[in-house]
């Protein structure tokens, strides 16, 4: 079975109830796509983290609090909240390992922002820093599946190929966004105000991150396609990284003969 790791927020998160629900919905999205979800603690020490990472076929960076602005060389504005430096460190480490190991990677909301910062980009600490920004944060008064704004998807992108379209409506539960996009990341979707809504890494087998929350739009065909694509890419990676069963059988047979 294809194992998909899902990063978790800390117990101390100010929005913990909301994040618990979203984490559960991500796991359900993975299950619906035929994968086996496993959660990754935000403060695992490195040896245990690597052991867990090695056992995974794919990785999801979930939503949550803000990435520490110090990671992109800024002091935090008053609007910044929910920072957990240990989680930032854990997820940055996972991103580096996943990129080095060509392991499929899918980022959601904070996951897109974390990926951008891990690769050398910077964020708007609050979307109000972006000239002409529309509303992107609808919590807590709107339901998570409220379709807040349109996105325009780059026609020649993996995302457009995957979804079979270049326009969609998405939910929006973020108050931060990409300000400077890291080298190596390609912006493949924008909101009408120019805010980055999806990035991908062309050279990687599957590295896609979206600014919206597909797990909270679980009935949307686009959400099913996104989780389905991650699980399919991870299953493919699993087949390529493990010897076929016939080889394993031969090795076992040889070992038995040696006895």
Active site residue ranges: 109, 213, 215
The CB-of-102 to Mn ion minimum distance in angstroms stands at 29
Which is nearer to Mn ion, 153 or 237 (by Cβ)? 153
Tokens of 132: 């002409």
Can residue 136 be called a binding residue for Mn ion (CB under 5 A)? yes
Tokens of 108: 């959601």
**Rounded-to-integer distance, Cα 188 and Cα 193, Å:** 14
The CB-of-211 to Mn ion minimum distance in angstroms stands at 5
**CB–CB of 63/173 below 8 Å?**
yes
Residue 175 half-sphere exposure, CB side, CA atoms within 13 Å?
16
* Member of 158, 172, 223, 234 binding Mn ion (CB under 5 A): 172
Selected range binding Mn ion among 22-30, 31-39, 133-141, 219-227, rule: CB under 5 A? 133-141
The site that binds Mn ion (CB under 5 A) totals a number of residues, namely 2
The CB-of-159 to Mn ion minimum distance in angstroms stands at 15
Largest CA distance in the chain: 73
Q: In this structure, what are the phi and psi dihedrals at residue 241, rounded to the nearest 5 degrees?
A: -95, -15
Q: CA-based angle 150:119:215, to the nearest 5?
A: 40
Selected range binding Mn ion among 107-115, 136-144, 220-228, 249-257, rule: CB under 5 A? 136-144
Selected range binding Mn ion among 18-26, 45-53, 88-96, 135-143, rule: CB under 5 A? 135-143
Residues contributing to the site for Mn ion (CB under 5 A):
136, 172
């Amino acid at each position: 079975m294809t194992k998909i790791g899902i990063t978790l927020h800390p117990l101390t998160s100010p929005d913990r109830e909301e994040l618990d629900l979203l984490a559960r919905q991500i796991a359900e999205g993975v299950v619906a796509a035929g994968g086996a979800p496993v959660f990754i603690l935000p403060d695992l020490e490195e040896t245990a983290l690597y052991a867990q990472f090695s056992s995974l076929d794919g990785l999801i960076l979930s939503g949550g609090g803000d990435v520490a602005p110090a990671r992109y060389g800024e002091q935090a504005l008053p609007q910044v909240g929910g920072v957990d430096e240990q989680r930032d460190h854990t997820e940055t480490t996972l991103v580096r390992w996943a990129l080095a190991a060509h392991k499929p990677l899918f980022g959601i909301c904070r996951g897109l922002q974390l990926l951008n910062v891990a690769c050398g980009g910077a964020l708007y600490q609050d979307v109000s820093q972006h000239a002409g920004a529309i509303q992107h944060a609808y919590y807590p008064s709107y339901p998570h599946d409220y379709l807040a704004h349109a996105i325009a998807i780059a026609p020649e992108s993996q995302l457009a190929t995957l979804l079979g379209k270049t326009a969609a409506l998405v939910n929006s539960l973020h108050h931060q966004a990409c300000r400077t996009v890291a080298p190596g990341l390609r912006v493949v979707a924008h909101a009408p105000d120019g805010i980055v809504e999806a990035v991908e890494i062309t050279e990687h087998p599957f590295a896609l991150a979206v600014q919206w929350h597909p797990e909270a739009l679980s009935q949307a065909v686009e959400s099913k396609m996104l989780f389905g694509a991650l699980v399919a890419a991870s299953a493919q990676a699993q087949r390529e990284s493990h010897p076929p069963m016939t080889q394993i059988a031969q090795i076992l047979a040889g070992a038995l003969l040696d006895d």
